[in-house]
Structure 1
């Protein structure tokens, strides 16, 4: 009899969750983007979110919450109701780099329910047009001949472009100076104006300038060449296989979201990402569609945290928490 009561209680908990998942989504979904409109995070959310809306027959409403390199918007996801109706697409900087470098208001391992890795974005190393280096070998030789004289721009302290530059310094044993900007656009403006000499940045924001010939590509930090820039070698091809640098964006729900709802979100997101038009739109931006399981994405976040923690420690970038 006692066993039957326990079974009944267990079913009374599971059945409502299962029923909710079967009907999910029954109302609009809010998709938080922790950056202003126009950047890669926003583009990804709008392309994938639009297809999710069409499949689910419910609106997917983009909510841009910029600030503190993605920390503010990411914290809003953590503090949302865990019902699947407020989710977000978050970058590596907010989930891996910032929490390693400084104190943030959320615990990545405890405050989120990973849904799926959405896209990976290779970082490309470019130089200003007046830099007398046409390839990686020449650039490293130039930096070694002028220690502390060459600057590398980033989209802000703690972002993937910043860590990419630090990894280049460590891998090539060169002394180059970090110049942080508030976003990729002002960093590119100063590259074009020859105020800084080089930068690793997300491929999508660099493509127009590479195609126009106003910035010179050196290498792509990805396992294979990008279809949008087939003539640019990978870092492995130029003899630096450890300089593998890809930004990435993943979908999260708040911790406590029922597993059945997380599974439904995963299924919906992956169906959207597998749509040929979605894949093509993202590929045109230099983005590679990923898509995986919640468990695999959780493990991926863990492995990326370990990788970049080593770089942060070696570069002396971690502040006291």
Structure 2
């Protein structure tokens, strides 16, 4: 069965929002010929400039029926009013699986397709998105979210994760795994993985807590309580906790857990130390506590990730 799949773009779209998924579906088609009939589409078609200035040739929007519509994100979504042609089309086109990458969620929400549903978008747009679309159950701390047949994803490279998940849904886990290998993507990140990892690494939107995060990463075996972190940042615990959430959109405790998870995952996949020793070294202490954190973040326990890395 060939699935009609339209990737929708507009002036100032983000190029990787489209190019990443295209590569995923192209390679899936090599493994399972006839699986996808892929088109890039825009309101009137033609050469559509991305935010980088690189243009893609697009066809006019299809009349349907379509199996999947994937709406790209990008700077162009800052003017949703200027994209009402796409919004009107989304309200009327017959589509089985509406999806979006990054701020493409704005167009799905504007069309009413996300009302009452869980959804995500790029972390930098979540405050604005929540104000504009209060009927959407926004979950900002996710790589991608599936609510029935409606899928949304976080920023830019998360479009690759989303596309791999769609391939897995269509063609099975083995094909998705082969596509990931061909793309030299280590493995598909589970949708529940936090998208704030990079923001934490940067020390927040302004980088204010960058040195603190470097210190915490070098001292993961310490308890790293709010009081310890606040003292290191020369702030009172209350002011520190409030400022940290504003900067990073997550709590100090969740940020510390994210640092521990990243260090633990690298040790699990690339080393040979026993799991309990890794748990102690990165500050989880109890292996069971680390196992639960892995399940929340990656969808797999440490032993399964190690086996996957070995294979």
Q: TM-score per shorter chain, which class? A: under 0.3
Q: Structure 2 length normalisation: TM-score?
A: 0.28
- Which gives a bigger RCO, structure 1 or 2 (Cα 8 Å, sep 6+)? 1
Q: Structure 1 length normalisation: TM-score?
A: 0.27
